[in-house]
Amino acid sequence: MSLSSSEDYEPPLKFVNSRDEITGDEYDGTQRVQMSCGHGVDPGSLTAWCRSLIDQGRFKLYCPADVAGGKCGAEWPYPEVRRSAVLGDAEQQEFERKLALTAARLYCDFKECPSCKSLVERKELSHLRVQCTICSSEQKRTYEFCWQCLRAWKGPGTPSDHCDNEGCVDPNLQILANCGIKDLPGSEIQGCPSTRACPTCGLLIEHKDKCKYVLCSRCHVEFCFACLDTAQACKAAKGRAWYQRCTRPLAPRQNRIPVWSCKD
């Protein structure tokens, strides 16, 4: 008889007589799985909820249960979700592939090859023309695709802001050009674009509420949504009234997106 090591041991699932905290369905005699945050969920609704988060580009899975007028928000580790949702092999592969792709896109300069779907890292950050070594090996020829429109490359190999595929434009630049404007709460700043590209890493961030300082979730640099300077520099330059206005003028709509690597 073989024994599993203690590192492979997973405690049994705990079931409770409670309502489904995801859908709000009341207890009907069917027990729910109790998650690590203490809330009971149905495996089916847990699968649907986590799939919706992943399809939105999230890779942190959290509890949406209502708690005292707010949300629980406790993060569920993926292994817990996998066990509690009773994911089948195909669902596990789907979830894990999408989670890995989302994390790679968020923290590193990786994208999915349009042909083989493998993750490809861009070596030359100023070039849109990228080679997939897997496809090149399998097809016995150099296979390249456009980093921007994610289609097989067309056109010359010189650096440019688009390839020759029809409609090859940077969708992020279109968002920056067409987003609405807003007044930043708690300040005298009016007419600020509602979406900015992080000045450090280029991640698009939409301003929701609170003050003009925003912490980027990718590079973790805090910057001013108005002047696009770092929060530290903006506060130091303005003195005590930094929350109301900036020393520098309101930055216009951005027409380029900074390129950043997590290796910097």
Residue 264 inside a domain? The answer is no
Find where tokens 């861009």 sit: 122
Q: Where residue 12 sits, what CATH number does that domain have? A: 3.30.40
> pLDDT value at position 80?
93
- Same domain, yes or no: 183 and 96: no
Residue 30 inside a domain? The answer is yes
Please state, in angstroms and as integers, the Cα–Cα distance from residue 24 to each residue in 18, 19, 34, 42, 64, following that order.
Answer: 10, 6, 15, 10, 10
> pLDDT value at position 256?
87
Burial of 93 (0-12, 13-18, 19+ CB in 10 A): exposed
Are residues 193 and 206 in contact, defined by beta-carbon separation less than 8 angstroms?
no
- Same domain, yes or no: 177 and 139: no
User: Pick from 45, 67, 102: which residue ends a domain?
Assistant: 102
- Helix or strand run (H / E) with residue 146: strand 144-146
Separation CA 89–CA 251 (nearest Å): 49
Residue 262 inside a domain? The answer is no
pLDDT in 10s for each residue of the chain, 264 residues: 444 444 455 678 899 999 999 999 999 998 999 999 999 999 999 999 999 988 877 778 999 999 988 889 999 999 999 999 988 999 999 999 888 877 776 666 688 899 999 889 888 877 889 999 999 999 999 999 999 899 999 988 776 778 999 989 888 889 999 999 999 887 888 999 999 999 998 889 999 877 889 988 778 899 999 999 999 888 887 666 656 778 889 999 998 888 776 554
- Same domain, yes or no: 137 and 182: no
> pLDDT value at position 224?
93
Residue 200 inside a domain? The answer is yes
- Same domain, yes or no: 44 and 17: yes
- The neighbouring-strand residues paired with 213 are 224
Residue 263 inside a domain? The answer is no
Record the tokens describing residue 251, joined without a space: 């930055």
Residue 55 inside a domain? The answer is yes
- Same domain, yes or no: 133 and 69: no
> pLDDT value at position 240?
61
- Same domain, yes or no: 158 and 132: yes
- Same domain, yes or no: 53 and 24: yes
Record the tokens describing residue 57, joined without a space: 């580009």
Residue 141 inside a domain? The answer is yes
Residue 155's domain comprises 109-168
- Same domain, yes or no: 51 and 85: yes
What's the number of domains the chain is made of? 3
- Our CA angle for 132, 133, 135, nearest 5°, is 70
Q: What are phi and psi of 248, to 5 degrees?
A: -80, 155
- Same domain, yes or no: 148 and 177: no
Residue 214 inside a domain? The answer is yes
> pLDDT value at position 241?
61
- Same domain, yes or no: 66 and 32: yes
